[in-house]
Amino acid sequence: MSAGRVRKEIDHALLSFVDRQRPGVLAISDDLAPLLSALDALLAGGKRLRPAFCYWGWRAAGGEDIEAATGIAAAAASLELLQASALIHDDVMDASDTRRGQPSAHRRFEAMHREHGWRGGAAAFGEGSAILLGDLCLAWSAEMFDTSGLDTEALRRGRPVFDLMRTEVICGQYLDMLESARGAGTVERALTVVEFKSAKYTIERPLHMGAELAGGTPEVVEALRAYGRPLGIAFQLRDDVLGVFGDPAETGKPAGDDLREGKRTVLVAFTLERATPAEAEFIESRLGDPELDAEGIAQLRSIIDGSGALAACEELIDRYTEQAYEALRSAPIASDARQALAELAVAATARRV
Amino acid sequence: MSAGRVRKEIDHALLSFVDRQRPGVLAISDDLAPLLSALDALLAGGKRLRPAFCYWGWRAAGGEDIEAATGIAAAAASLELLQASALIHDDVMDASDTRRGQPSAHRRFEAMHREHGWRGGAAAFGEGSAILLGDLCLAWSAEMFDTSGLDTEALRRGRPVFDLMRTEVICGQYLDMLESARGAGTVERALTVVEFKSAKYTIERPLHMGAELAGGTPEVVEALRAYGRPLGIAFQLRDDVLGVFGDPAETGKPAGDDLREGKRTVLVAFTLERATPAEAEFIESRLGDPELDAEGIAQLRSIIDGSGALAACEELIDRYTEQAYEALRSAPIASDARQALAELAVAATARRV
């Protein structure tokens, strides 16, 4: 097995789908071209983690190789359009300027409005366009899944997982926003957000869906989910660490972006548990401040690190990752799938700080 | 046939679907209850036009009565969730305060944020929540369609229309926003927006989808579309007239809301064609002004009426409606479907000013 070959097939399926939509969209009006360009730019990046987990869930459950099986590449790649929708809407909600190292979708449309000197607010035009582009990606994700070419029986088995996954991630994102608004969260509440906004959505459900598409036995499905659940949590905890300490060149986001956005991550909850009252007060006063500068970020980082929260988070990542490996070792699956899933576990949780 | 009986079955299918989703959502977290309440409030209103056209497309193409056929009520009602998504996101984009006579979804969540005195901006929290609720409705619409209970073959025939319809309405909404931003539009461009944002989406595609779900012949499908196309345009032109001259008690929107939002409707394009240079300048200076007051609205209304644009729009509504009736008279369909579609044509285009 080669991760590169799988990635290539997933990319091909994804870009072919968008290319098939292109003429129909432009037949409505040439003025729609900027929507397509913004989507092209976004899809040029991304690690295709969710399609990869879906594909290896399929393989682990006995599905054929990606080059032999009709439809699995497209069904797996449809998750990348779901993710595109989530990212585009997320960036509107968080007022993020960049995504994958490029301007976020709403900023692209905002700039277009300014360049043309159009009427009304440029920011509102940017947000409106991005809301619609995210909607288009959400609709196309389902369309791509349904028209993947997998047979009706496979789709009938996989669709409930696809449906559940969408509900979970949307609900998880609402809870995430709610936690930022309420503040003063607990580790437990932060972990609920992690579970639904990210862990299940990124790893457990893609694996689960892939396995169901392949008609996997309940034993295989359960073994994959037992691997995916802890790995998904470890993945999001790593993402939280990167959101505070990550290199912008790696994350595609400005340094300390999560702090500026006031994300109530497990890392923050750990810090508030461990910090002195003065430190906690400082955190509460600066977290979510859109004006937070490099110095403010450095101060927050220093408190997070000094409190032992960073170490506690790394320990938790190690523990969850180890749980995932343990589940993987005993999973009743073929050895190439086991090896690929072990490599994906590294990719999903590796330290990149 | 009784419109009331059809409406009751559609409502029942819609509310049953939401009720089936409810426990799963609340099992993720009780904190998600406000999303469900906002959806309940929105779904309490609405004329269910799209489900009705879908159902009568089905009947016209030989489908069984709503009480006898499994699944058509749910498949038709799934369009109401698509519409809920469009309305919720539209209200965010237009910064509308009300919908169906109640606070719009984003205003509900904004008020919730204020009441609790939460952190960060209340408006941003409101918009973020509404974006997510709209996403949930869009995802659930597809889920409701797929799980309607119609057989696999029927769904396979109807799904391409469902898919096309989503792409068309999202693209149409983008073009609508673009026209408002660019200003100085033409009647032709305004008609393109009408076609995709509203006419096809509200009437032609629901009929088309219903007929395909029933396995209608190409002749029936084409006859229904020939009725639906002009009727859809007439419907949107009526909506444009109501958006300027309508009674808030009827429209559920403040008086003259389209003027305040700067919508570039056919009615506005007609006015600009007919107005004196001074009047045109006045229109361009006031249209889209969020501060537009009762006096400004009265002045704009007077120019629109005085220019002959209102009469021209009414004439166009009559002409398109007449075209629809003509197509309906010669359509090769059963008489009860013909009668129901004639009544729907009245409901969709009736003067309510």
Q: In whole angstroms, what is the distance from residue A342 CA to residue B4 CA?
A: 59
ipTM for the whole complex: 0.95
Residues 6 or more apart whose CB falls under 8 angstroms from that of B38 comprise B105, B108, B109, B129, B130, B133
Q: Is residue A165 part of a domain?
A: yes
If you average pLDDT over residues B83-92, what whole number do you get? Answer: 97
Domain shared by B213 and B137, yes or no? no
| B234, B305: one domain | yes
Judge whether residue A353 has pLDDT over 60. Answer: no
Using CA atoms, how far apart are residues B188 and B266, in angstroms rounded to an integer? 8
Average pLDDT over residues A308-320: 95
Averaging pLDDT over each range in A187-191, A276-280, B131-135, which range is the top one?
B131-135
CB B234 within 8 A of CB B205: no
Residue B15 and residue B131 in one domain: yes
pLDDT score recorded for residue B339: 96
Domain count, chain B: 2
Greater pLDDT, B206 or B284: B206
Which residue has better confidence, B170 or B290? B170
Residue A52 within a domain: no
Which tokens in the block code for residue A304?
Answer: 């997070």
Residue A54 lies in a domain: no
Say yes or no: A289 and A176 in one domain.
Answer: yes
Domain assignment present for B54: no
In a shared domain, residues B212 and B117: no
Sign of torsion over alpha carbons B155, B159, B161, B165: positive
Chain A residue numbers touching B168 (CB-CB < 8 A): 28
The CATH number of the domain where B331 resides is what? 1.10.600.10
Check if the beta carbon of residue A193 is closer than 8 Å to that of residue A176: yes
Binned at pLDDT 50, 70 and 90, residue B101 comes out as confident
Instruction: Mark whether A88 and A142 lie in a shared domain.
Output: yes
Q: Which residue among B24, B156, B163 sits closest to A167, beta carbon to beta carbon?
A: B24
Structural domain boundaries, residue B115? 1-44+71-149
Please say if the pLDDT value at position B7 is more than 50.
Answer: yes
pLDDT tens digits for range A39-90 = 999 999 999 999 999 999 999 999 999 988 889 999 999 999 999 999 999 9
- Are A138 and B140 an interchain contact pair (Cβ–Cβ within 8 Å)? no
Nearest to B288 among A31, A116, A120 (CB): A120
Are residues A328 and A216 part of one domain? yes
In B58-118, the DSSP E strands lie at: 98-99, 102-103
Which of A132, A159, A169 should we substitute to test contact with B (largest number of B Cβ atoms within 10 Å)? Answer: A132
Q: What rounded mean pLDDT belongs to chain B? A: 94
Report the first-to-last Cα separation within chain A, whole angstroms: 29
Domain shared by B135 and B161, yes or no: no
Provide, as residue numbers in chain A, all residues whose Cβ is less than 8 Å from the Cβ of B131.
Answer: 89, 92-93, 131, 134
pLDDT value at residue B352:
61
Domain end call among B149, B169, B187: B149
Asked whether the predicted pLDDT for residue B89 surpasses 90, the reply is yes
- Looking at the structure, tell me whether residues A299 and A333 fall in a common domain: yes
**Structure-derived torsion over alpha carbons of residues B111, B112, B113, B115, reported in degrees to the nearest 10:** 80
Residue of A178, A186, A196, A260 for testing the chain B interface, max B β-carbons within 10 Å: A178
pLDDT computed for residue B183 by the predictor? 82
Strands B98-99 and A98-99: unpaired
Same domain, A141 and A273: no
* Domain final residue, candidates A103, A129, A149: A149
Residue A124 placed within a domain = yes
Answer yes or no: are the C-beta atoms of B100 and B187 closer than 8 Å.
Answer: no
pLDDT in tens, A114-133: 999 999 899 999 999 999 99
Which of the listed residues A85, A116, A149 is the one where a domain comes to its end?
A149
Are residues A251 and A117 located together in one domain of the fold? no
Tens-digit pLDDT profile for residues B222-278 = 999 999 999 999 999 999 999 999 888 877 778 888 899 888 899 999 999 999 999
B174 with B140, same domain: the answer is: no
Residue A30 resides in a domain:
yes
CA A238 to chain B, closest CA, distance in angstroms equals: 23
Please report the pLDDT score of residue B249 as a whole number.
82
**Secondary structure of A258-324 in HEC code, one letter for each residue:** HHHHCCCCHHHHHHHHHCCHHHHHHHHHHCCCCCCCHHHHHHHHHHHHHCCHHHHHHHHHHHHHHHH
Residue A352 banded pLDDT, cuts 50, 70, 90: low
Instruction: Check residue A202 and give its pLDDT.
Output: 95
pLDDT bracket for residue A3 (50, 70, 90): confident
Confidence of residue B175 (pLDDT cuts 50, 70, 90): very high
Q: Which of A35, A93, A139 sits opposite B128 (nearest CB)?
A: A93
Residue B320: predicted pLDDT: 96
Look at residue A2 in the predicted model and tell me its pLDDT: 75
| A141 neighbors A79 (Cβ within 8 angstroms) | yes
**Is residue B57 one of the residues assigned to a domain?**
no
In this prediction, residue B221 carries a pLDDT of 97
Residue A265 has pLDDT above 80, yes or no: yes
| Rounded distance between C-alpha atoms, residue B353 and residue B345, angstroms | 17
Q: What angle do CA B146, B151, B152 make, to 5 degrees?
A: 70
Question: CA-to-CA distance for B146 and B63, rounded, in angstroms?
Answer: 18
Q: What percent of chain B has pLDDT over 90?
A: 84
With respect to residue B315, please indicate whether it lies within any of the assigned structural domains. Answer: yes
Distance CA B77, CA B66 (A): 12
Q: Nearest Cβ partner of B31 from A119, A156, A175?
A: A175
Check whether B353 has a pLDDT greater than 50.
no
Q: Is B71 left (phi over 0), alpha (psi -120 to 50) or beta?
A: left
pLDDT tens digit sequence for B302-336: 999 999 999 999 999 999 999 999 999 999 999 99
Give contacts of A196 with chain B, Cβ < 8 Å: 28-29
